[in-house]
Structure 1
C-alpha cells in the first residue's frame, strides 16, 4: 500500500479537525507522545525541512477548496506568509501539512504553491511515524510539516496570527513588527528533532562515517497567537474603521509599526 494518500482532503474531513482553540492544550497533555515523535525525527536523521505539526485549523473550507500557504514579499519589510482558502483548480499545489488519514496513510490537509521535498523518499521513517500515531490515537493531534526551500533558509522564529476580517492567517518572522502581545492563545505548532545524540541533516546526503561531534543547529519554531474578537462593549464607541485596521478582533492603530506592515501587506496581496 502506498504511504502517501495523494487525493485532496475533503472539506468535510478538514472542517472536522480541531480548531486552534480546541488544540491549545495538546502539546502539554501529550508531551510524552510529542517527545517520542521528536526523537523519531532524529533517529531517522530526516532533513530539517520535516518537523512535527500540531493538527489544527483556523477556518472552514468549502467543497473544491483547500487551505493554501503563500509567501508574500513586502517591499518595506520582508517576507510574510499568508494562508487562506483557495480553489483547488486555480493553482498547482503541493502538500505542506500532513495528517494520518483513516486509511492509515499520510495525507496533506494544507498546501503550498511552492515545491516541497518528496516525502516518499523517507519510507522507513514514515512507516514508523504512521504506526506510532495510529497506535497512540494521535491522528487529530500530531502530523508532519514540510517547509519549502525558502523557509529552511530563514533562521528566525515566526508567529502566526488570525486575520478573521480577511478570512486568512498571517505568519510573520519575529524580527519584523508584530501586533501587541494581548493574545489569549499562544502555542507552538511545530517542533524539530529532540535527541542530543543526533544532528539534523539539512539535506538528503548520506551521513559520513564516524562524524566529528558538532552542535545541533538552532531550531526555529512557529507559534500561533490569537485573541478572541472584541465585542461592542469593548470598543466603547471608539473602535471605528477610521482609527486603523481591524485585525484579530482589535484595532491596529494608525502610526504603529505593525500598522505599517499590515497596510503594506493589504496593498500588495
Structure 2
C-alpha cells in the first residue's frame, strides 16, 4: 500500500493533473484505495465528524452501518467504472459535493483511471472530511471493525512506528502542468503501521474489579471488572484526551450497531 503512488507515478500525476486542470481541487482530491476490515454483508463504511467537547477535539469515526439506517449518507470515496462513471464505495454523513454538477470532470477522471488500470489503486474523494491544512492520523478499533482519525496523534506510542502511508493528495492549480510527471501531493490523511506490520489498534482489556465495556472477551467471567483501554499495549489513562476520544467513539459504535 505504501508504495502505490510511487509504483503508479504517472497515473498518480495524471489524476492530480486532471483535478487541477478542471479547477476543482477545493472539492475533489485523489484517494488511495485501501481496506482495514472485511465488513458484514449489508453494511457500508460511514465516516462521521464527531464534534469536540471539553475533553476532546473534533475527530472522525468510521464504522460499518446498515445502509437502510443511513438515509442521509452520501458518497465520500468513489472508484472509477467503465463508461466515465464513478461508484461510491465508502460514505459519510458530512455535507458533500454533487457529482452530477461536475459531469465533464468526473467522466475525464473515471476514463483516465480505467484507461491506466488504476481504478483499484486510486479513487476520487468528494470533499474531504479533513479540515483544511490538517493531517488526520487513522488508527483502528479492530474489535468494532472501526477506525478513528485524529488531528493530534502525538499520544500514539511513538516507539512502535514503522511507517506512515499517505492516503489522500490535494492538487493545487499549479499541478495542472505536471499531468505527465510524478507530482507529490499534500498529505491529508495517513495510515500508520507499527513494527509488527499492523495498524495501531485500541483494545479493551480488564482488571479484577469494576466493569467491562463489552468490546473484548472477559477473561475473568466470575469476577467484576474495571475496563482498561489501551493502544498497542499502552494503557490510556482515564481523564486524558485519547481516553475521552475512544470512549466517545465506542459509545457511538454501540448506538450505530
Instruction: Give the TM-score of the pair, scaled to structure 1.
Output: 0.70
Q: Distance in 2 between matches of 1:109 and 1:54?
A: 13
CA RMSD of aligned residues (A): 3.0
1:260 aligns with 2:239: no
Shift in Å at residue 69 of structure 1? 0.5
Q: Show structure 2 runs of 5+ residues with no match.
A: 177-184, 199-203, 208-226, 253-257
Per-residue CA distance 1:86-137 (angstroms, 9 max, x = gap): 0001112100000013665200000012231101211221111111111110
Counting only pairs closer than 5 Å after superposition, residues 20-35 of structure 1 correspond to structure 2 as: 23-35=1-13
Go from structure 1 to structure 2 and tell me whether the alpha carbon gap of 1:170 and 1:197 turns closer, same or farther (over 3 Å shift). Answer: closer
Residue of structure 1 in register with 2:156 after alignment? 179
Q: Distance in 2 between matches of 1:152 and 1:225?
A: 17
Per-residue CA distance 1:159-184 (angstroms, 9 max, x = gap): 1112213321100113x654123233
Q: Distance in 2 between matches of 1:170 and 1:162?
A: 6
SS of the residue corresponding to residue 157 of structure 2 reads: coil
Residue of structure 2 in register with 1:7 after alignment? none
Residue of structure 1 in register with 2:220 after alignment? none
1:123 aligns with 2:114: no
Q: Show structure 1 runs of 5+ residues with no match.
A: 1-22, 199-217, 231-238
8 Å CA contact retained: 1:41, 1:51: yes
Q: Distance in 2 between matches of 1:72 and 1:27?
A: 30
Counting only pairs closer than 5 Å after superposition, residues 35-184 of structure 1 correspond to structure 2 as: 35-75=13-53, 76-92=55-71, 93-101=73-81, 105-147=85-127, 151=129, 153-174=131-152, 177-181=154-158, 182-184=160-162
Q: Distance in 2 between matches of 1:123 and 1:101?
A: 14
Instruction: Give the TM-score of the pair, scaled to structure 2.
Output: 0.73
Higher mean C-alpha displacement, 51-60 vs 67-76: 67-76
